[in-house]
Amino acid sequence: MHPELKRQLPTLLNQLAWLLAMLLIYFFVAPGFVGGSAVQRVVLNAMNLGIWLFLLVAVFVPIERLFALNRQPILRPNLLVDLGYYFLTGLIPTLVLTIPIALLAAIAREIVPAGYLLWVAALPVGIKIAGALVIGELGFYWAHRAMHQVPGLWQWHAPHHEPVRMDWLVNSRAHPIDIIFTRMCGLTLVAISGFGSPGASGSGRLVFEIVLFASIFWAFLIHANVKWRFGPLEQIISSPRFHHWHHSRDDHPNHNYASMLPVFDRLFGTYHMPRGAWPPNYGIAPENRPEVLIAARYGLSAPEAAQTKSEDPA
């Protein structure tokens, strides 16, 4: 067994346990809230993930070959690990988030003034999409920042930062708690604000799905191993260079939390993107490993394993 696969196996098995638990809940609870056959929905979600994987490969593999920032093989180490993450992190958050977000949107309709909701409903679809993107990004920014700055949350986000090479599929390497927490914070604001929710009808559901699709696709793009720079547009929309600095191992690692709109990093003092430069390395420095930070916070002795590098660069 490949050493990295062996190291990641406990996490993958943990995610499988999550998936089985969520499937049981979804089969018995979800139909009452979202309607239809739960089994059918899960099967369709899995099929959709397979189709999207094919499309993502068709888009990003040629792009990374033509515009590679760093020369690295397509069939790289940890590829199977990240493919496993892709399917698990694609299924689990969908199963978990559908019910609570639909419930929160229903509660918001009872609490939020009807005049405001009517005003939002009358807005053009384009304005709704733009508003939902901004509001959702605000929630994601603070959730993502909390994942880095709170040691108890960082332990769930750290697996995403372990890779020492960047490519589009690294976006999928994440613990389900990480994905659930950050998406919940962003999409809940979208639902409560009345711009859209999974249980809405008409443009409300359309807006929600467009925001979700745009954020997921953009996440794959900004992780990609491409040397693209967006020029002046980098001031208003995130680029691969912007997010690669977020994955920096040693140089300003806790910066650039926004997924699409760097304006929030500028507003809250976490923007870092040296002119024309890319990060010298990626991964997690030994002193930033979760077990080290938790040990320091509670006065415990850090495990010996915490002094090792985050990942074998081979």
Check residue 289 and give its pLDDT. 85
Residue 133 CA to residue 44 CA, distance in Å, equals 26
Spatial contact of 159 and 174, defined as CB atoms under 8 Å apart:
yes
Residue 313 CA to residue 284 CA, distance in Å, equals 12
Domain residue ranges of the chain, discontinuous segments joined by +: 12-24+45-307
Return the biggest CA–CA distance within the chain. Answer: 61
pLDDT tens digit string along 196-209?
Answer: 776 666 777 888 88
Least confident of 9-18, 77-86, 240-249: 9-18
Residue 42 CA to residue 48 CA, distance in Å, equals 10
Residue 88 CA to residue 172 CA, distance in Å, equals 9
Residue 282's SS3 state is: strand
Q: Which of 155, 182, 160 is nearest to 97 (CA)?
A: 182
Paired tokens of 154: 């960082």
Burial 139-166 (b: 16+ CB within 10 A, else e): bbbbbbbbbbeebebbbbbbbbbbbbbb
Residue 197 CA to residue 105 CA, distance in Å, equals 6
pLDDT tens digit string along 104-145?
Answer: 878 887 888 888 888 988 899 999 999 999 999 999 999 999
Number of H helices, E strands in the chain: 11, 0
Is 254's pLDDT higher than 90?
no
* Identity of residue 96: V
pLDDT tens digit string along 72-110?
Answer: 888 888 888 888 889 888 877 777 777 788 788 788 878
Q: How far is CA 303 from CA 148, 161, 291, in A?
A: 20, 19, 7
Q: Which of 178, 119, 191, 112 is nearest to 147 (CA)?
A: 178
Residue 289's SS3 state is: coil
Q: Which of 169, 160, 171 is nearest to 290 (CA)?
A: 160
